[in-house]
Structure 1
């Protein structure tokens, strides 16, 4: 029987794809707005050649400024990846690599809002703890509950801490 629970695999690449898509949309939107404004103004005041030169110059300056700003934001994202599957929990972030099997996990504490997990604290049987920051991605608490229950055969305790309640 095939399981309906799919493993969770998150990485920095997902955030970069979303940011690049956002950049492309913004560039096209800015270019269109500038073109419409200059075209409407230039109908009675400027010739077409000057309009395209001004439009190109303004668009290049704006796009360059936005690109440099957003590129710095993309490069400032922490390089991390996380995977929850049948073998256990794996996390690689700026604090180091963390890998633990399901049979060694004692408790998982999920700090979340209504619809997404902010952080996840994993405690092993020997007392080792790892706090995984998940604020950069959208991950539902229900998925982690279901995976932990299924993969650990009910031996792992999952505790919810709703950040809205305190």
Structure 2
């Protein structure tokens, strides 16, 4: 047999197609299996990113000023800081007399600010007060300094952001 045999080092077309197909399927299965462990691709990553954006919106010189901002915290949070298509609940609490006290909070329905109005927000806040945040929500918390009465009265607080 000569070295230039026409059948040397050739593969049947059907076998080559099967091999490439099996490789593509295996690669797809690997991508699906590895997706949850990739950074920035889980539900928790959404809450973690959102809490960073919300903190950037509500802090002044590294402190949440509850004396000035507690009643209108929703005015300080930009719609662009919230994940599109998700409902978000934001709560600020402080440690007071041995327990946590809620000093500020708001909720943003899915579609905020363009597709919602004040009645949607009020309805969602009533639901959260009665039922609480759903179990399926992604929750992130962060310790923050809170100026409760004045800039001189700073206490330890917690910023909690729930996304679902």
TM-score between both structures, scaled by the size of structure 2: 0.30
Structure ranking higher on relative contact order (CA contacts 8 Å, 6+ apart) = 2
